[in-house]
Structure 1
Amino acid sequence: MNRIVIVDGNSLINRAFFAMSELKTSKGVYTGGALGLTTMIFGLMDEFEPDYFCVAFDMKGPTFRHKTYDQYKGTRKGMPNELAMQMPIVKAILDALKIPRVELQGYEADDLIGTIAHYFADQNIEAHVITGDKDALQLVRENIHVHITKKGITQLKEYKNEDIIEELGVDADHVIDYKGLSGDSADNIPGIPSVGPKTAAKLLAEFGTVENLIQNVEQVSNKRWKNLVIDFADQAMLSKKLATIMINVPVELETDMFKLTDPDMEAAIHLFRQYEMNGLLNRLKVKTEVVEQKTEVERIDVDALIKLIEFEKAFSFKIIYNKVDLRHDDLICAAFKVKDQICIIDNMVDFEKLVPLFEDEKMHKSGFDLKNEYLFLMQKGIDLKGVKFDGYIAAYLLEPSRRSYDLSELVFEQATVKIASEEEVLGKGAKKKTPDQLEQEVLYQYVQGMVMGIDILADKFDDKLEANQFKKLFETVEVPLVKILSDIEFTGFNIDVSEIDHIDELLTGQITEIEKEIYEQAGETFNINSPKQLAVILFEKLGLPPLKKTKTGYSTSHDILEKLASKHAIVAEIIEYRTYTKLKSTYIDGLRAAINPVTGRVHTSLNQTIAVTGRLSSTEPNLQNIPIRLPMGRKIRKFFIPDEGCILLGADYSQIELRVLAHLSKDPALLEAFTQNIDIHTKTASQVFGVETSEVTSLQRSHAKEVNFGIVYGMGDFGLGESLGITRKEAKTYIENYFKSYPNVQGFMDSVIESCKEKGYVETLLGRRRDIADISNSNFMLRSAAERTARNTPIQGSAADIIKIAMIKVFNRLEAEQLKSKLILQVHDELILNVPLDELEQVKVLLKESMESAYELLVPLNVDMNTGASWYDAK
């Protein structure tokens, strides 16, 4: 039997919105309601497999019910602005998906739903009404099924006639009579005062309808009820009329109006990307027929591939391998695409025939997440050259705040071509397969789809990079950097295991001492790591004021403990205990686990596509967040040592962000300080505190340093006051004096905000962009946070760009001068090199020249260098 699904759009988008009211895009557009409703519609299509579909909406303005009773729905609050802005979004999505929608001035969505449901039911087509409003239960009859949402919009319950009787005490035909008597507070339908649901059901069980009750009111045995019916008979009839859903709205209907057709894929993809509904994009892929490759491809053998590459001078490729230990990874297969021909290789004999092509700079290569390929080829002694395109990096430049850069998603978005994703082929979680467990043809189809996707992205992204003026940044910085980061990861950092053991012993001893002190303060032993047990000790036994309650009890989070530190000595001990136990678990136990069993080294991964500012991030393990402000934290750097016969050479930019600020703001006083090599913190202290530079105290310089960097990071008077431990008023005076001393800085900051409001994004010196959500938000807190981000990003992002250029220059010079020294780590403004002792002086010169010439600012870039037998000593 054919069926139609009819959705109450307003009811469900309301429920979806309040379930996800805070959800919004990176640009600050609320999307929870639109996302929830669209997701549910996809789910309804799966569940009911309908032939016809319809979403009904209310329209603004009074309906015939308002004209009948001006207090109708008078107690309802207006639609929140955050939801109102989503109505045009969801309607645009429905139109793109070619899902019919209806609305009519003067009538409610319920009336359209009732009319359409009866129209289809009369044609022997099942109508399924989906709503959150139980008023719709009056529509239940043969061929009309009503489903009410439960738990937000995640579950549905179909109400049959017997369910309605069980819940309301009346059947579907008498729901409107039930409302006539008991009323409906949600719609401000009055009913008869003091007649509740149970009384209404009893009266209707005896008299059937409101009209019959009124006509036979003398037969009502309960005197009070009788008088109420007599006094409010007109109100009961009015209420029944208001509660009645119309089934004959004057609108022309045709069955084919509601027939489902293929969506406008281009429009739907655009909307889902615009509103960052990545889950719906994946869903759209599932609903799309598998698109066979838009151009027919032919599989060729390796010899034909080599001839074709030599002729075309370009190819796309993807290597699949089992990751073992970064030195002995096994080739599973590799795919190569040239024009419309694809070669798949699954053995090293044929693979090695391609070595000259890999190492030929004139052969242009395209890939996706090429660090994967670099790491495999390095193991085989192959020096990959001639890389021109990495789709992973291009996608990041174009959308730096994107949550995922999955190849299959990107290809689908750009070309509506569906290729299998890693998860679809290998699965996920504990049941995830390795590539060698796949059947050969499944594996071949998977890798073939990947190289086809790479070609699609190369074609689509090239124009977009050009249009956004990212081409230079892409080709001269981001793509060359992939090789350097791969080399750093492959090389790794040598580790002194005996030093780890030594620090572990010291740390364990300190933790034990702190535990004893905590137990003594508490008067008993307990599990310090258990928030529940800790809360009992702090808030029940010791009587400290609980500041925040969560679902599981009173919070003992770090920020709560800091606020309680002055209340009892045990709190400071607990904070210290947590600090040391985290050090041990992360940097003692964690580092031991991260040591490669073959190389004996730690191979951190430096990632390009995580931070929206362009900064690199370190993972597995994270070597950028070692807590060096703690004495024991600093000692962790002793674990990292040079190779035998080598020394560590560390170089970091001196105050690079302040120098970038001087360049961008062109402030005369800042420019003078850096060009004349004046200590910037002393100069700032002199001007902020109104003293001669010779009279600046160490405390004043320290405070001025905090002010300098606070300005860079967009810190306000509250944040600065918290940081320095001074009053907000004092902090405000510091900031005002700073801007008086450096007037162009204030002008620069203001211009950044104005430009951001106009464009919606800010840029670094190299043109890297970051979209700023909430820059014009009416909410002061959100807008202030956005303004801080806008002010800081051009400075921090430009500094990140400069050190990337420095890394490229250093790496290239080390190669060009055929030195054995290796770049082994980057931590924000610092580079670490492993240098043979006989190359030290040469590399010092090379490093300083490369870093200081990375970018020409209006002020010099200064580099400080240190050497040592460990990272700790080289700082």
Structure 2
Amino acid sequence: MPERYPLVLVDASGYLFRAYHALPKLTNSRGKATGALIGVLSMLRKLIDEERPEYIGVVFDASGPTFRDRLFEDYKANRPPMPEDLREQLGPLKEIIRAMGLPLLEVADVEADDVIGTLAKHAAADGVPTLISTGDKDMAQLVNDHITLVNTMSDTVLDPAGVKEKFGVAPEHIVDYLALMGDSIDNIPGVPKCGPKTAAKWIQQYGDLDGVMANADQIKGKIGESLRASLPRLPLSRELTSIKTDVALDFGPKDLTPDAADTETLRDWYERIESKRLLASLSETGADGEAAATKPQAEYALVLDEAALDAWLAKLEAAQLFAFDTETTDLDYMRARVVGVSFAVDTDGALEAAYVPLAHSYPGAPAQLEREQVLGRLKPILEDPTHAKVGQNLKYDISVCANYGIAVAGCAHDTMLESYVLDSTATRHDMDSLAKKYLDRDTVHFEDLAGKKGAGKGAKQLTFDQIPLEQAGHYAAEDADITLALHRELWPKIEAIPSIASVYQDIELPLVPVLSRMERGGVRIDADELRAQSADLAERAAALEERAYAEAGRKFNLGSPKQIGAIFFDELKLPVVAKTPKGAPSTSEAVLEQLAADGYELPRLIVEHRGLTKLRSTYTDKLPALINPDTGRVHTSYHQAVAATGRLSSSDPNLQNIPIRSEDGRRIRRAFVPEPGVRMLAADYSQIELRIMAHLSGDERLLAAFEAGQDIHRATAAEIHGLPPEEVSDEQRRSAKAINFGLIYGMSAFGLARQLGTERSVAQEYVDLYFARYPGVREFMDRIRAQARTDRYVETLFGRRLYLTNINHSNNQLRSAAERTAINAPMQGTAADIIKRAMIQVDHWLRTEQPPVRMIMQVHDELVLEVAEDAVNTAAERIKGIMQGAAELKVPLIVDTGVGDNWDEAH
């Protein structure tokens, strides 16, 4: 595909209908419908911004009948009339497009497709690369080396290979493909019961429609009868589905140059449809997509007196949305004290930002407003849900404000989460990275002001209260300014994709205050128990160290790859499992584990020693030091915008990685204890990813096994080995479990063989048997890989997207890894979405009914809660019901609950 397309042709009528049905039904204050209108204009702006075409045509269907109506009087007879609230948006849309300076095309007696097809073919004949923006599959017949399709609503692109991948036939056979299937919407007769797969199969087998018709007698069964009965109608169907590429036009592709925009007319229309985003676009770019001569930057103010504060409070009261940020003394939200607050507002398209310093205490610092007084005046606005706020990582600011008794409400947007749901892998989601990627702005970094931690002998990073106001004011106000500017850039992109907007508005944003409450509630730790465990781990690690010395024949540093390499390969002559990029024998963790699995004692001792020392440094030594002296509890930080698939992660401490399968890991969990009179309750989704696989694949045997409540691993083993479930051995069940979970993660037969400790041929036989018994799973995997190659992303059940940049990479290793991710991400991401939805609903129950229950942890597919002893049974049933109702699958969602005096007992 070319890097750019000089000619862009837009199927405007198609987008108008799609926007009407897919996007929210917006109205202005006078009750006039605007949703489809704004949706199409947003699509056009995005397309022009990305492509910057020399020539562009925005093509609508002309009113009145076309030549197809003369060919077939029932053509489109099933289509209902245009809804009135859509019809009233059509006129304004056309006027706005003309005011944008874009050539608007309507040609009588033909459809928009025919105009687009004719222009595209003329351009292709001249070697001009052409991009057709459409969501209509019929247009795929136009694709060739010079013509490409893009669906701007879903960001999918189709070149000739993409058409073949998506439809199973080449572009030149799309007309035959469509004729066989027919079209119920356009009332085009085809072959009844002939779907996409059958049509593609016939064309692949017989070459084209004529070949299919000539061989109709060879096709057996009911579908063959249906084909033969349809033969008289198929030539007409082919003619109706064929796009005309020879329409007599009095203009050509190179006549479609855009004119200068009529800014005043656009401003008038944007005010009438009440689109602040489109109004703002007039100051950001010209309607033709060219950058405006000057892009307004926010004015930064430093608020040091009551009059300036009054003026800014009035601006916040009047603003429909304002950016809000806190500057503090500490990254730990529990210890952080507010040093200042910053704001940004949009005033008639221009951004204004201000910093209110409250506690800068360096020598010579000027007088500042009193912190408690300012926060007291801000409290009503911050707590008012009708005053919409946007922030970057608002969860931190919510928690900091809570330290001052302010319950922030009205958190309408979070730019970190906007970036994350838009594309979790495109960039890091910190403000500096987002400003560079989306605004092309280089921001002032905190380290530029405060210095780097540990930079130089005796150097110490300054806290924000020690930063001079001349620097601090610009830095803090810029944070608010960038936040509001990022929102103006990111939100339209999210709005244009309804599924992503739903994930953002229904899952990620509502989860922010839930996580803040969980974090601030914390979890109680038995420090004495952990110290005793640390002493035991240290003693056992020392014993392993002595045994390693004896095995090696000398003392060495068990953490030194260089020393280990010399002993392994020079002295003990152990086999080289892998090499480093420079060609030296590797002593990586994977190599050590492989050598240990192969029976070599010294690698086994080192692996075991490292495991014990890691538990000490990460948990048994560290957790007691993290206990907050004010609360007596440990307060983790949950991160929404880290894991690409949507899963939460946590840090300080990382609760997600505490081992569950080892005895030492379970001992650590025993140190997580509730207060007297309170029990720990763990609620864990049972085999949720396998259940999601059953739902997505629709495999009948898998669905039946879950519906019957069978042990899925035993059921799988029974299917593979052809045995009754009661005759399945423990070893056969273990192998089946490895297959079930291995396939979810895209594991190859080679990887499975290593896990099972068997030959690759045996593992391959297991895989083949599995797919033979569960063909729906194989079909799902093939389908999702093909879809990922076309769309370059996969989606969860709720619409979260994971983009796969390497899915079509020429490097087999990178491509294979992307294909494995394509299979796993919809399941892992859907599981993440489900537990997030459950957390939101559990939190709602806790806040509305206020039972003696506290949600304290989320770990993978598990929620952990503290429950008053006399409320355990009632709470367990209620929580189980909420979690099991968090999604509707084709199989039951099952939640296992446990209760104990510590986390291990509850789990």
TM-score, length basis structure 2: 0.62
Provide Cα deviations, 1:394-449, integer angstroms capped at 9, x if missing partner.
01112211342232443354445555343444343335432111112322222222
1:817 to partner: Cα distance: 0.8
2:398 paired residue number: 374
Instruction: Verify the 8 A CA contact 1:325 1:597 in the aligned structure 2.
Output: no
Gaps of 5+ in 1: 1-288
1:387 paired residue number: 411
Q: Distance in 1 between matches of 2:339 and 2:355?
A: 10
1:674 paired residue number: 706
Farther-moved stretch of structure 1 (629-638 vs 316-325): 316-325
Identity %: 40
Relative to 1, partners in 2 of residues 1:776 and 1:492: Cα closer, same or farther, differing over 3 Å? same
Relative to 1, partners in 2 of residues 1:297 and 1:780: Cα closer, same or farther, differing over 3 Å? same
Alignment of 1:660-671 (within 5 A): 660-671=692-703
1:784 aligns with 2:816: yes
Farther-moved stretch of structure 1 (310-319 vs 789-798): 310-319
Q: Distance in 1 between matches of 2:386 and 2:344?
A: 17
Gaps of 5+ in 2: 1-292, 359-370, 456-460
1:600 aligns with 2:632: yes
1:534 to partner: Cα distance: 3.3
1:714 aligns with 2:746: yes
Farther-moved stretch of structure 1 (451-460 vs 833-842): 833-842
Farther-moved stretch of structure 1 (568-577 vs 647-656): 568-577
Provide Cα deviations, 1:568-604, integer angstroms capped at 9, x if missing partner.
4333222222222222222222323333343332222
1:315 paired residue number: 322
Relative to 1, partners in 2 of residues 1:441 and 1:298: Cα closer, same or farther, differing over 3 Å? closer
2:494 paired residue number: 465
Q: Distance in 1 between matches of 2:434 and 2:815?
A: 31
Relative to 1, partners in 2 of residues 1:564 and 1:308: Cα closer, same or farther, differing over 3 Å? closer
Instruction: Verify the 8 A CA contact 1:647 1:867 in the aligned structure 2.
Output: yes
2:551 paired residue number: 521
1:275 paired residue number: none
1:61 paired residue number: none
1:352 paired residue number: 376
Secondary structure in structure 2 of the residue aligned to 1:429? coil
Q: Distance in 1 between matches of 2:312 and 2:474?
A: 18
1:362 to partner: Cα distance: 1.9
1:410 paired residue number: 434
Q: Distance in 2 between matches of 1:415 and 1:327?
A: 32
1:856 to partner: Cα distance: 1.1
Instruction: Verify the 8 A CA contact 1:596 1:603 in the aligned structure 2.
Output: yes
2:473 paired residue number: 444
1:466 to partner: Cα distance: 1.0
Q: Distance in 2 between matches of 1:582 and 1:328?
A: 27
Instruction: Verify the 8 A CA contact 2:691 2:706 in the aligned structure 1.
Output: yes
Q: Please tell me the root mean square deviation across aligned C-alpha atoms, in Å.
A: 2.6
- Higher Cα radius of gyration: 1
1:846 paired residue number: 878
1:474 to partner: Cα distance: 0.7
Which amino acid in 2 is paired with 1:732? Q
Provide Cα deviations, 1:747-801, integer angstroms capped at 9, x if missing partner.
1111111111111111111111111133223333332222111111111111111
Provide Cα deviations, 1:669-722, integer angstroms capped at 9, x if missing partner.
122122221221111111011101121122211211111111211112111111
Instruction: Verify the 8 A CA contact 1:638 1:873 in the aligned structure 2.
Output: yes
1:650 to partner: Cα distance: 0.4
Secondary structure in structure 2 of the residue aligned to 1:678? coil
1:531 to partner: Cα distance: 3.2
2:343 paired residue number: 336
Alignment of 1:172-321 (within 5 A): 293=297, 301-312=308-319, 314-321=321-328
Q: Distance in 2 between matches of 1:863 and 1:505?
A: 37
1:508 aligns with 2:538: yes
Which amino acid in 1 is paired with 2:595? L
Relative to 1, partners in 2 of residues 1:720 and 1:543: Cα closer, same or farther, differing over 3 Å? closer
1:812 aligns with 2:844: yes
Relative to 1, partners in 2 of residues 1:457 and 1:383: Cα closer, same or farther, differing over 3 Å? same
Relative to 1, partners in 2 of residues 1:305 and 1:837: Cα closer, same or farther, differing over 3 Å? farther
2:507 paired residue number: 477
Provide Cα deviations, 1:459-488, integer angstroms capped at 9, x if missing partner.
222210011322111111111112122222
1:430 aligns with 2:454: yes
Aligned length: 588
2:589 paired residue number: 558
Relative to 1, partners in 2 of residues 1:405 and 1:327: Cα closer, same or farther, differing over 3 Å? closer
Which amino acid in 2 is paired with 1:525? K
Secondary structure in structure 1 of the residue aligned to 2:893? coil
Farther-moved stretch of structure 1 (715-724 vs 636-645): 636-645
1:532 to partner: Cα distance: 3.4
Farther-moved stretch of structure 1 (342-351 vs 797-806): 342-351
1:454 paired residue number: 483
Give the alignment partner of residue 732 of structure 1, picking from 752, 756, 764. 764
Farther-moved stretch of structure 1 (393-402 vs 440-449): 440-449
Provide Cα deviations, 1:64-92, integer angstroms capped at 9, x if missing partner.
xxxxxxxxxxxxxxxxxxxxxxxxxxxxx
Relative to 1, partners in 2 of residues 1:303 and 1:839: Cα closer, same or farther, differing over 3 Å? farther
Relative to 1, partners in 2 of residues 1:775 and 1:326: Cα closer, same or farther, differing over 3 Å? closer
Q: Distance in 2 between matches of 1:344 and 1:545?
A: 63
Secondary structure in structure 1 of the residue aligned to 2:856? strand
Instruction: Verify the 8 A CA contact 1:867 1:873 in the aligned structure 2.
Output: yes
Provide Cα deviations, 1:20-64, integer angstroms capped at 9, x if missing partner.
xxxxxxxxxxxxxxxxxxxxxxxxxxxxxxxxxxxxxxxxxxxxx
Relative to 1, partners in 2 of residues 1:539 and 1:733: Cα closer, same or farther, differing over 3 Å? closer
Q: Distance in 1 between matches of 2:594 and 2:877?
A: 50
Instruction: Verify the 8 A CA contact 1:325 1:598 in the aligned structure 2.
Output: no
Instruction: Verify the 8 A CA contact 1:317 1:334 in the aligned structure 2.
Output: yes
1:87 paired residue number: none
Secondary structure in structure 2 of the residue aligned to 1:623? coil
Q: Distance in 2 between matches of 1:779 and 1:447?
A: 44
Secondary structure in structure 2 of the residue aligned to 1:873? helix
Which amino acid in 2 is paired with 1:359? E
Instruction: Verify the 8 A CA contact 2:746 2:821 in the aligned structure 1.
Output: yes
Relative to 1, partners in 2 of residues 1:709 and 1:373: Cα closer, same or farther, differing over 3 Å? same
Q: Show structure 1 runs of 4+ deviating over 6 A.
A: 289-292, 295-300
Instruction: Verify the 8 A CA contact 1:544 1:567 in the aligned structure 2.
Output: no
Instruction: Verify the 8 A CA contact 2:795 2:826 in the aligned structure 1.
Output: yes
Relative to 1, partners in 2 of residues 1:682 and 1:563: Cα closer, same or farther, differing over 3 Å? closer
TM-score, length basis structure 1: 0.64
1:625 paired residue number: 657
1:206 paired residue number: none
Q: Distance in 2 between matches of 1:517 and 1:635?
A: 24
1:335 to partner: Cα distance: 1.5
Relative to 1, partners in 2 of residues 1:386 and 1:661: Cα closer, same or farther, differing over 3 Å? same
Relative to 1, partners in 2 of residues 1:543 and 1:840: Cα closer, same or farther, differing over 3 Å? same
Q: Distance in 2 between matches of 1:460 and 1:615?
A: 25
Which amino acid in 2 is paired with 1:564? L
1:131 paired residue number: none
Q: Distance in 1 between matches of 2:645 and 2:505?
A: 18
Alignment of 1:48-67 (within 5 A): none
Q: Distance in 2 between matches of 1:338 and 1:771?
A: 33
